[in-house]
Each structure stands twice: as structure tokens, then as C-alpha cells.
Amino acid sequence: MTTLGAPALQLLQIVLARSTRDAAAFILAQLDAGQALATLVTEVLAPVQVEVGERWQRNALSTADEHAATAVVDNALATLALTGSAGQFVDRGSMAVVCAEGDWHTLPARMAAELWRWDGWDVIFLGGSLPPGDLGTWLSAARPDVLAVTCSVPLFIPGTLRVGETSAAAGVPCVVGGRGLGPDARRADALGLRWAASPAGLEAALDAPPPAGRAAELTDRRSESQDLESSIEDVVDAAIGVLTDRLPAIRDYTPRQMAHTEKDYAYIVRFLCAAVLCDDPRLFSEFLDWQQTVLTSRGLPPSVLPTSMAALADVIPENYRRAYALCRTAAGSQAPALVGAHPRTSTR
């Protein structure tokens, strides 16, 4: 759970009340009281947004509530960007900022972009997901000194790699970061990409050499990840077949309940693909912990995920060596209780 300081707690209450004007006024008052621009982003706006996401995870906020709260935080950032002044200008060079391919969570990227702008970078914000071909053409023409890529969810790690390769092909140095890449350099290193823990670490990441390449290993992991992702529908169908044999009550699911089951399974497999690609088993285990909270907070029995994982582990082909091992390990650690279990009893 996010620990919030006093200003962040105050802003959180304003955000949850959906008061765009009050949030902007609060941020301006903090600025007038002498709070630094960067501090307002890193210690107020960003933690509030993280808390909003965690409350959605725990079902304390609906999706509509979460979107409304995000819009209020977004407007507060825009207010800060328009009115704040970083003081003496330092020209650090030109930078483009973009989300990983597939990632449309632009608010974290915009927060980072403003921090870099105030630090003296000439920033062009390219927004959410871009087709690699379009991005490559733009980079070749614009020639920024650096491309910064944010990955908000591990699901978009394959898109992060594609953007990094596009940047390298255009001859533009690339630095990646964001919550989706984890708390350290492990995932980025496995992809051969420079990583920064925070916007403040950008220049150190640029000065460091790129991670030592393990091209053959990355190619092998990438092939397995892509092959598995391309067969998601078959894997999900097979898993649901196993689950139905074990839990005949599934045959009574409504179309809505079955659609959610299929969607959840596809989500699990896509996270499995991301874990294979960046060679990080904890990515998958952390996702399963997150998913368990999402499901149980919405009224589903704790046995839903363990039972589903046991079925999935039975249908992942052994030739997907890494995915098979990850899935079997996860299924074992989940300790499924099949007797009497009744997944998806909710009407979500």
C-alpha cells in the first residue's frame, strides 16, 4: 500500500471528490508556499495516482471512479506545467518521450516529461503507443539526442523492446523506465536496453554503456514468447476445457461470465509471455499476487486463481520450455484446492 505524506493525502481527498478546480488550486497553493516543482510531482501527484490504481485493484474504486480521478490528477499536472518555472535555464539537449508500444497510460510519461523539461531538456512528448515504423521515420527525421520510453505495466515489455530496437536502428540513444520494468535493471538488462530507476537517473543511464548483449539468448526467449502469444486462443480454449472437466459448474456460466474467464486466462498468458521475454520469474508471480487481489476483492473465492493456474499448467506445451517451467512452478506455489471450489461465482 502506498504511504502518502500530508500534502498527498490532502490532494487524494480532493481527487476522490472529483474536484478539478480544487486540485489545481491546491497545487498552485503548494507552489506558492515554496514547494519545488519536482517535489510536487514525485511526492504528491505520482503517489496519489499510484494510490488511485491500488484502490481500483482492491475494488475500492470502480473503473469509472479511477478514470475520473486520473483526469483530475492529469489536470493538476497540466496546471503545474503551465504555471511553474524551473528557474535558470540549462540546455541539456533534445529529448523525445513516448510510451511503449501498446501502452496508452500516458500520465506517468507526462510526469517524467515535465521533470525533464524543468531540468533543462527540450522535450517533445509523443504520447501513447506508436507503430514502430512511424516512430522510426520520425526519429530519423527529428534526430533527438535521446528517446525516453516509459512502460507502465509488464504486459508492454515486448512493446518496450520493439521501441528500443526502433530507436537503435534510427541511431538515437534510448533509455527505458517505468513501473512495468520493475524496481531494478534486471528486465531491461535482459532486453539489452539502458534503464533508469527514475527521471533523475536518465543522464547516468545515458553515460553508462548498454547492457552486455546476449543476442542468441534474447532471440531464443523472444521466439518462445512470440510463439506462445500467437497461440493464446488455443491455449485458453484448452485450459477452459480442463477446468470444465474438473468443475462441471462452469457449464452453467452465463456468456458474460465465460467471456470474463476467457479474458482473464488470456491476460495470464500474456504476462507469462512477458516474463519469458525478460527472463524474470518474479514478474509472473507478482502478477498472480496482483490478480488474486483483484479477483477476491470482487467477491470471487480464493480458490479461483489456484484452480485456474492448475488447469493452465496442464495445457502449456512442454516445448515452450521457459513458460512451461514458470507455469508449473506457479501452479505448485498456488496450492490449488479443487474440492468444492467454484470459480467465477460473481457476476462481474
Domain with residue 36: its CATH number is: 1.10.1240.10
Residue 54 domain-assigned? yes
Mark which of 162, 185, 207 sits at the end of a domain: 207
CATH classification at residue 142:
3.40.50.280
User: Distance between CA atoms of 344 and 348, rounded to whole angstroms?
Assistant: 8
List beta partners, residue 149. 98, 176
Same domain membership, residue 185 and residue 112 = yes
The domain in which residue 35 lies consists of 6-83
Q: Do 73 and 52 touch, CB atoms closer than 8 A?
A: yes
For residue 86, name the pLDDT band (cuts at 50, 70, 90): low
Does 344 have pLDDT greater than 50? no
Its pTM stands at 0.89
Question: Residue range 159-167: average pLDDT?
Answer: 97
CATH classification at residue 306:
1.10.490.20
User: Distance between CA atoms of 206 and 226, rounded to whole angstroms?
Assistant: 29
Mark which of 19, 50, 83 sits at the end of a domain: 83
For residue 343, name the pLDDT band (cuts at 50, 70, 90): very low
Same domain membership, residue 61 and residue 163 = no
Mark which of 48, 83, 118 sits at the end of a domain: 83
Stretch (H or E) spanning 147: strand 146-150
Residue 346 domain-assigned? no
Residue 29 domain-assigned? yes
Does 88 have pLDDT greater than 80? no
Chain-centre distance of CA 226, in angstroms? Answer: 19
Written as nine digits, the cell of 47 is 503517489
Residue 347 domain-assigned? no
Higher per-residue confidence, 164 vs 337: 164
Question: Residue range 246-268: average pLDDT?
Answer: 89
Residue 76 domain-assigned? yes
Residue 157 domain-assigned? yes
Stretch (H or E) spanning 235: helix 232-246
The residues, any chain, with a CB within 8 Å of residue 320's CB and separated by 6 or more, are 224, 227, 228, 276
Same domain membership, residue 245 and residue 289 = yes
Does 198 have pLDDT greater than 70? yes
Same domain membership, residue 98 and residue 201 = yes
Same domain membership, residue 237 and residue 267 = yes
Q: What is the number of structural domains in the chain?
A: 3
